[in-house]
Structure 1
Amino acid sequence: MKVAIAGAGAVGRSIARELLASSHEVMLLERNPDHIDEEAVVGARWVGGDACELDNLEKVELHKFDVVIAATGDDKANLVVSLLAKTEFAVQRVVARVNDPRNEWLFDEDWGVDVAVSTPRMLASLVEEAVSVGDLVRLMTFRRGQANLVEMTLPDNTPLAGKPIRKLKLPRDAALVTILRGGRVIVPQPDDTVEGGDELVFIVPAEAEAELQAAIIEPAAPAL
């Protein structure tokens, strides 16, 4: 997979290293000459230039990339990069970094953003996750489909304990993607069961979050 990263600061470099370790082809586009250091991310293609300028994106043939990541420290720049990548170069997947949570509402499909990643929101979510049992914690938003990645920790005394996944009454379009149980990561199969203390990770439309929480935390009693 070919990935272009706009912004080669600490965040951009870290993302590049992770992608290179997974055998992806990575290009870092950075406007500040002081931030260009090929030895800092060995194996990446480094290009000097402003990713907000159309000419620079044409020179690097952005249309040939599968994913663009707008990872600068400037929300305005990340929005411009996202919009250009989607509208001018038809990049299939655009991921954008949100620096200021107050700007998060802008990072949607109108600006070409498929996935908005807000570090402050994610950190807050992790704190909530650590202290909340039975609450729905939103981890990430996928703007194109208006769906969210959410987590719920089952109470130890959950009435769902021992129930097969195939019998969970999930809202329409909601999907259980993984179960975290102790040190295990479980890819759920229909006959797997849920247990008290499980951390369940779902993808769910925003409008169905309340219904999902009610179905998992307060399941309806079986008919007599």
Structure 2
Amino acid sequence: MRVVIVGAGDVGTYIAADLAGSHEIAVVDTDGERVAELESTLGVTAIEGDGRSLEILEAAGIREAEVVIASTDDDAVNVMVCGAVRNIADAYTIARAKSADLYETWQTYDAALGIERMLSVDRLTAAALVRTVALPGALAVSTFADGGVEMAEFELGEESELVGKSVAEADEFPSLTFAGVIRDGNVLIPSGETVFEPEDRVVVIGSPSSIRRFARRLAPEATLDPEDDVVIVGGGAVGTHIAEILEERGYAPRLIEHDPDRAEALAERLPGTTVVEGDVTTAGFLTEADIDEADLLVGTLDDETNYVLALLAKNLGVAHTAAIVNESEYVDLFEAAGVDVTIEPRAVVASETTRATQDYADEAATLERDSAEVLEITVQSDSVLAGESIADVAHDLPDGFVIGAVVRDGSLKTPRGGTVVQVGDHVVAFVDTDVLDDVAAAL
């Protein structure tokens, strides 16, 4: 598949690196040195120029492209690129957007903008943080089937109660499937007799409630509950979206915002959130605001403030801390300081963009440095799954493939050997990337 990426900043470079091994990639950017470096390191086609120019887009092979990704740092440029593509090509267009207003406009008038999929940086960042803090022990969390199915990856410590047990002994959740085990970098498809070992990375697929119960079993003290005290520092776009998502999940967070007008507006917008006006950089405010009683503190300000805030919170006895980290080079520093969850907006958007380019599935999530993927597909009449039981179809598919969930008419069915898959079902499956092409062709 030919993919044209306009914008070779951090996000565009991340996307290009992720897709270069499996697709024909052309990258457009005004920075000639940057695109030349990508050409030499990734083997992509490099075009120096402005993506708003039809001449430049033509040089990138826009007419043959199946996907165009507008990933510059300028929302207006991204919209213009997608609009230009619509006029000269038949490509699927993806644009990243920083502006919440632009994203809402697209939701209402998507056809008018010529953008098939718009990725809101702030919304995706907030959603990724909430997913992760809700399961603090999880290394990765992704949702499928309109939120009805979750995939989560956990690493087993030496003291984990699962270590030494078989899958059959650990299988206590009716709506959860042990889909895969990543051991020493190798992908294992577990059977009932598979015994868990320390440092195994276990991938489970199931209903959100089952995933949560499983997480609580692995680390009962780490699981975040709706009655816990969650404090969000910063009432900007990301902080506001985090509060909204938490409210939807039954939480009643506290949000600290230093600007009085903004705080007043947020108090009206967020009925389930206690909005507190105050400046966390002021001496004594954290103590006055009873931050020491928080179960989780989330920093959404600049990296330096978030870092200091996390250190102070730990010193005050806050159980868990999370932070938005905008600069990738700071992530190791945050983790070394004991920050429990760090979310990089650029990496989140890049990952979502990569998912959107998959042509073999409705949704896809990559695990453990591309060693495995979790796919959501809608079963068509020509699929090997159509009308077949899972046990029977297993003989027609290579090893390295496990069906983790089947969703039919909005209802989750936990797959068993006798489960018959029907046309129109949404199937969420774990796949070893070594057999991904064979599986994708068969499904």
TM-score normalised by length of structure 2: 0.35
**Residues 133-212 of structure 1: pairs in structure 2 closer than 5 A:** 137-138=365-366, 151-152=374-375, 163=390, 179=405, 184=410, 186=412, 188=414, 191=417, 200=428, 212=432
| Aligned partner of 2:309 among 81, 97, 102 | 81
Offset at residue 216 of structure 1 (A): 6.4
Show the counterpart of 1:207.
none
Is the Cα–Cα contact under 8 Å of residues 87 and 112 in structure 1 kept in the other structure? Answer: no
Q: Distance in 2 between matches of 1:95 and 1:187?
A: 34
Provide structure 1 residue ranges, at least 5 long, that are not aligned to the other structure.
142-149, 171-175, 203-210, 220-224
Bigger helix fraction: 2
Paired amino acid for 2:274: R
Distance 1:88 1:99, change over 3 A: same
Residue of structure 1 in register with 2:285 after alignment: 56
The residue type equivalent to 1:23 in the other structure is G
d(CA) in 2 for partners of 1:107, 1:182: 45
Report the AA paired with residue 71 of structure 1: T
Structure 2: distance between partners of 1:185 and 1:52: 48
Q: Which residue in the other structure is 2:296 paired with?
A: 67
The yes-or-no answer on 1:129 pairing with 2:355 is yes
Note the C-alpha offset of 1:193: 8.3
What is the SS of the residue equivalent to 1:68? strand
2:248 partner letter = A
| Counterpart mapping for 1:9-24 below 5 A | 9-24=236-251
| Percent of paired sites with the same residue | 24
Preserved CA contact (<8 Å) 2:366 2:374: yes
Please identify, of 11-20 and 53-62, the stretch whose mean Cα deviation from structure 2 is larger: 53-62
Tell me if the contact between 1:134 and 1:153 (Cα under 8 Å) persists in the aligned partners.
no
Which sections of structure 2, spanning at least 5 residues, go unmatched? Answer: 1-226
Deviations 1:153-172 (A, max 9, x none): 67x899999656xx9988xx
Cα RMSD for the two superposed structures = 4.4
1:90 counterpart SS class: coil
Aligned to 1:40: 269
**Paired residues of 2:390 and 2:416 also in contact (CA < 8 A):** no
Deviation at 1:10, TM superposition (A): 1.9
Shift in CA distance, 130/47, structure 1 to aligned 2, threshold 3 Å = same
What is the number of residues matched between the two proteins?
193
TM norm structure 1: 0.61
2:118 corresponds in structure 1 to none
Structure 2 equivalent of residue 111 of structure 1: 337
- Kept in 1, the 8 Å contact 2:256–2:276? The answer is yes
- Match of 2:253, SS state, is strand
Q: Secondary structure at the match of 1:39?
A: helix
Q: For the Cα contact (< 8 Å) 2:406–2:413, is it kept in 1? A: no
Tell me the alpha carbon deviations over residues 105-153 of structure 1, each in whole angstroms, 9 at most, x when there is no partner: 33643233222222222222122112235797458x9xxxxxxxx7446
The 1:216–1:15 alpha-carbon spacing in structure 2 relative to 1, beyond 3 Å, is: same
Work out whether residues 255 and 275 of structure 2, in 8 Å CA contact, stay in contact via their aligned partners in 1.
yes
Q: In the alignment, which residue of structure 2 is the partner of 1:26?
A: 253
